[in-house]
Amino acid sequence: MPEIRDVPAPAAAAPYDALLLLSFGGPEGPEEVVPFLENVTRGRGIPKERLVEVGQHYFRFGGVSPINAQNRELLAALRADFAAAGLELPVYWGNRNWAPFLVDTLREMAEDGHRRIAVLATSAYAGYSGCRQYRENLADALATLAAEGRPALRVDKLRHFYNHPGFIEPMIDATLTALAELPAELREGAELAFTTHSIPTAMAESSGAPDDPARGTPGGAYVAQHLAVAELITQAVAKATGVADRPWQLVYQSRSGAPHIPWLEPDICDHLTVRQQDGAEAVVMIPIGFVSDHMEVKYDLDTEAVAKAAELGLPVARAATVGADPRFTAAVRELVLERAATERGLAPRRCALGALGASHDVCAVDCCPNPRAPRPAAAQA
Ligand SMILES: CC1=C(CCC(=O)O)c2cc3nc(cc4[nH]c(cc5[nH]c(cc1n2)c(C)c5CCC(=O)O)c(CCC(=O)O)c4C)C(CCC(=O)O)=C3C
Ligand SMILES: [Fe+2]
């Protein structure tokens, strides 16, 4: 079978001429918090109380979200990884909700002569927020550039990377490191709580492609993919620690939306309460839903859940997120080369751990539907 390195290094990414790192964006000063939240929530019916509350989370940290600094770090790490591997592919960065805005980055890419762009969204899983919404953002930006009379760009979003070994392995190590932070006598009995962003249950159920085997499971692809990651990490931790039956659960955090609309549960704080009542000795929280230490991790876990645990007298530790781990940057390089080879008509090896297998390259038209109304989206069949 042809390997992904079937052409000389400088041309290995062909037909792509650039990579775009596409992320959420966050404020970097107190005056930016409210305009940022207005961008995030435009037309989405998030209750005012929730926005004021979320604004406070940002103000507590001087109005600075950690996400942009983390993306700058990832951008630098990707450039260094590509350079070290002899891959000549410029890397750019643009966001959905804050500067550098996606449309400005795409305009710059067009001006620099790029036409065929691979896109890595900093969201590992299927779902409207992490997949289609980014593709809608791409469609909006491309429409703006077309209206400005600029040459056409083609954007291809790389597949979901939740089960790529370069994403899983750093999380296994991080879980073991967090376990080691607990007092020695608590390590064997410590439970694992895998956390991710809660989303409306209806959005969870419709996540993934209709023909995706993961979509057929209760909770849809979003939950099935997170469960697959939790199982992979649990198995590896069992092997490394020799504790075979360590309790674990997938739980949720950062719920918003109106109270009468069902969202995925239980919340991490309720979970800690229940586990403490059931006699748990300690809990390790592993934020598998987040690629880096976003505000959700810094506030909802490190501040809120840690305070809850202290109130309960339950020892907790929090596993680090993947961030700019060299295994992850190497995985991104592999994903670019893999997709490039596929686009050249080859059948490259598609690295993925666990039973769900490698995710699709091109989203179906009805994959991860918009919960409000259908809108144009780029990078789909
Ligand atoms: C699945 C998912 C991810 C993970 C995938 C991905 O990474 O994309 C994610 C990431 C993020 N979410 C973030 C921030 C916010 N998300 C909000 C609102 C919402 N998120 C949702 C889902 C997700 N969100 C949903 C269903 C809503 C409700 C309304 C809506 O459909 O929009 C709101 C509004 C207030 C509130 O409701 O909390 C804020 C401020 C930040 C930046 C953090 C920082 O600054 O470090 C990041 C990385
Ligand atoms: Fe969010």
pLDDT per residue over 11-32, tens digit each? Answer: 789 999 999 999 999 999 999 9
Q: What does the pLDDT read at residue 2?
A: 46
Over residues 59-81, mean pLDDT: 97
95, 120, 129, best to mutate for ligand 1 pocket (most atoms within 8 Å of CB): 129
Nearest residue by C-alpha to atom 36 in ligand 1: 256
Q: What does the pLDDT read at residue 10?
A: 57
- Residues sharing a CB contact under 8 Å with residue 284, sequence separation 6 or more, in sequence order: 175, 178, 179, 182, 190, 191, 192, 193, 316, 317, 318, 319
Give the burial string for 243-270 (b: 16+ CB within 10 Å, else e): eeebebbbbbbbbbbeeeeebbebbbbe
32, 42, 197, best to mutate for ligand 1 pocket (most atoms within 8 Å of CB): 197
Taking the C-alpha atoms of residue 335 and residue 288, their distance in angstroms, rounded to an integer, is 20
Other Cβ atoms less than 10 A from the Cβ of 349: the count is 13
256, 299, 321, best to mutate for ligand 1 pocket (most atoms within 8 Å of CB): 256
Taking the C-alpha atoms of residue 324 and residue 70, their distance in angstroms, rounded to an integer, is 8
- What percent of the chain is predicted at pLDDT more than 70? 97
Model confidence at 153, in pLDDT bands (50, 70, 90)? very high
For 165-318, CATH gives 3.40.50.1400
Same topology between domain 9-161+324-343 and domain 165-318: yes
* Topology annotation, domain 9-161+324-343: Rossmann fold (3.40.50)
Over residues 238-242, mean pLDDT: 98
Q: What does the pLDDT read at residue 281?
A: 98
Model confidence at 49, in pLDDT bands (50, 70, 90)? confident
- Selected residue with higher pLDDT from 115 and 11: 115
Q: Enter the ipTM.
A: 0.93
Report pTM. 0.95
Other Cβ atoms less than 10 A from the Cβ of 123: the count is 22
Runs of H (alpha helix) within 196-305: 201-205, 220-241, 268-277, 295
Residue 129 annotated as binding? no
Query: Ligand 1: which residues within 6 Å by Cβ?
Result: 24, 26, 37, 40-41, 44, 46, 50, 54, 65-67, 122-123, 127, 129-130, 197, 199, 254, 256-257, 289, 294-296
Q: What does the pLDDT read at residue 117?
A: 98
Reported as a single tens digit per residue, the pLDDT across 190-200 is 999 999 999 99
Ligand nearest to C-alpha 67? 1
pLDDT exceeds 80 at position 5: no
Q: Are 333 and 82 in contact (CB under 8 A)?
A: yes
Helix axes 326-343, 165-181, angle to 10 degrees: 170
pLDDT averaged over the chain?
95
Lowest-pLDDT range, 39-53, 71-85, 91-105, 161-175? 39-53
Nearest residue to 298 via CA among 17, 95, 61, 109 = 61
Nearest residue by C-alpha to atom 15 in ligand 1: 40
Say how many Å lie between the CA of residue 377 and the centre of ligand 1. 19
Half-sphere exposure for 136 (CA within 13 Å, toward CB):
19
Reported as a single tens digit per residue, the pLDDT across 325-365 is 999 999 999 999 999 999 999 999 999 999 999 999 999 99
Q: Where are the domains of the chain?
A: 9-161+324-343, 165-318
Listed in order, strand segments (DSSP E) in the chain are: 18-23, 91-95, 116-121, 154-157, 191-197, 248-253, 283-286, 316-318
